[in-house]
Amino acid sequence: MLTIEGLTKSYSQNGSPATCALGGVSFSVPKGAFVSLVGPSGCGKSTLLQCVCGLMRPTAGRVTLAGREISAPPPEMALIFQNAAASLFPWFTILGNIRFVLRRAPGSKAQKLETARSALAAVGLADFAEHYPWQLSGGMQQRAALARGLAYGAEILLLDEPFASVDAQTREDLEDLLAGVARQQGKTVLFVTHDIDEAVYLADTVVALTPPPAKVAAILPIDLPHPRDQIASREDRRFLDARKAIHALLRRV
């Protein structure tokens, strides 16, 4: 269980007024759950993920994982950054990027290479293994960063708008890939997106945030059967109801 309690973060710059990004956010992510986080741009979603991952100290409040407070990135968590291009190591190929984060993982060299290659194949980049990040398009870089995060094998995945710059078709494929991996391997996922449909389609629970300083506007359980289907699930009454409720909520706040 990942618990976020009264999380507050204000950025203080020398001289200029402090920006209060998070104004006391509390919710929890049960083990094995898929939670989507939606909210208007600039409300503090990326900030929240960085605090959850222990990359940033919150101003107040705390994040606990199975009862223990997180103060540095724990080994069972992987964060896939919103800015994928800037998070890939430019001196490694795409394959090299994945192999590098697997350095200390258990298993033989050959096994790890196999893991890396299959992660690349899963996101459709098998033919680009030996390319450097700058040789890929923005969407391909995002997929490479996703592959690296999945290959790492963390139990908890934090994803920050990972499908923001891919086309609609690829996006659906990647959504299903992520949903499949999460279910098969029982992963806990905290998924940030600004796309309400995507949030509902993937999640067991959607957490909606208010404009900054962000608070939790609503927590909505999504009562849709798994596995989900791009056509059928999106036409389901319950999908449409949830979608409408979140729309109304985000418009009002």
Minimum distance from CB of 51 to ligand ATP (Å)? 10
Instruction: Using CB under 8 A, list all residues that contact another protein.
Output: 50, 53, 55, 72-73, 75, 77-79, 81, 83, 85-92, 100-101, 104, 121, 123-128, 131-141, 152, 169-170, 173
Instruction: Using CB under 6 A, list all residues that contact ligand ATP.
Output: 11, 19, 21, 39, 41-47, 82, 194, 212
Minimum distance from CB of 21 to Mg ion (Å)? 10
Q: Which SS3 state, helix, strand or coil, does residue 43 take?
A: coil
Smaller CB separation from Mg ion, 24 or 40: 40
- Contacts of 54 by beta carbon, 8 Å cutoff, 6+ apart: 63, 70, 71, 72, 73, 74, 77
21 binds, among another protein, ligand ATP, Mg ion, none (CB under 5 to 8 A by kind): ligand ATP
Nearest alpha-carbon partner for 198 in 242, 156, 157: 242
Minimum distance from CB of 87 to another protein (Å)? 4
Binding piece for Mg ion, criterion CB under 5 A, among 44-52, 176-184, 217-225, 230-238: 44-52
The whole-angstrom separation of Cα 138 and Cα 122 is 18
Minimum distance from CB of 187 to ligand ATP (Å)? 22
Does 47 sit near Mg ion (CB under 5 A)?
A: no
Smaller CB separation from another protein, 77 or 217: 77
Query: What secondary structure does DSSP assign to 119-182, as a single string?
Result: HHHHTT-GGGTTS-GGGS-HHHHHHHHHHHHHHHT-SEEEEESTTTTS-HHHHHHHHHHHHHHH
Q: Which SS3 state, helix, strand or coil, does residue 4 take?
A: strand
Cα 124 from chain centre: 19
Does 115 sit near Mg ion (CB under 5 A)?
A: no
